[in-house]
Structure 1
Amino acid sequence: MIETKIRKVGNSAVMTLTTEMLTMLDVKEGDTLFVVRGDDGSIKITPQDPTVAEALAAAEIVMDENRDLLEALA
């Protein structure tokens, strides 16, 4: 677990990401992060857009279900 503080910068509240946190996320300054709230109130910070991940998972299911047809079309 890594502890970080929230501080005020102008009219915003800012959470500082340490070098260790950036490494864990495999991101760098200027990258975009997505914050998703879980049903239990927790939050997840991820460098991948969760809506894209959901769409890719759905596409994978469709491709698996129709593999023979897709191979015939290729």
Structure 2
Amino acid sequence: MSATHHDHHPDTRGSSGLSRRVRIALLMVALIGGFYLLREHWIHVAGNWVYLLLLACPLMHLLHGHGGDGGHGAPPDKPANREA
């Protein structure tokens, strides 16, 4: 018989102090509310979808990580800006 210790903590809470069930319930309420809000205001959204798409471009630029070649995380032996 092996003696292993398993610590079970049924009341595991995140950093916000809310249990997982409460967070899932709040997420579901937000999704249902968003669905009905979009359904009621679909005419406004459909009329301005081009502007919403253009607004998404700078938001994606701001929220996306700065990975890739060069820039902030360039190795010291490789210059960040390439000049031809």
TM norm. shorter chain > 0.5: no
More strand by share: 1
Q: Which structure would you say has the larger RCO, counting Cα contacts within 8 Å and 6 or more residues apart?
A: 1
More helix by share: 2
Q: Considering only CA atoms, is the larger Rg found in Structure 1 or Structure 2? A: 2
TM-score normalised per structure 2 = 0.33
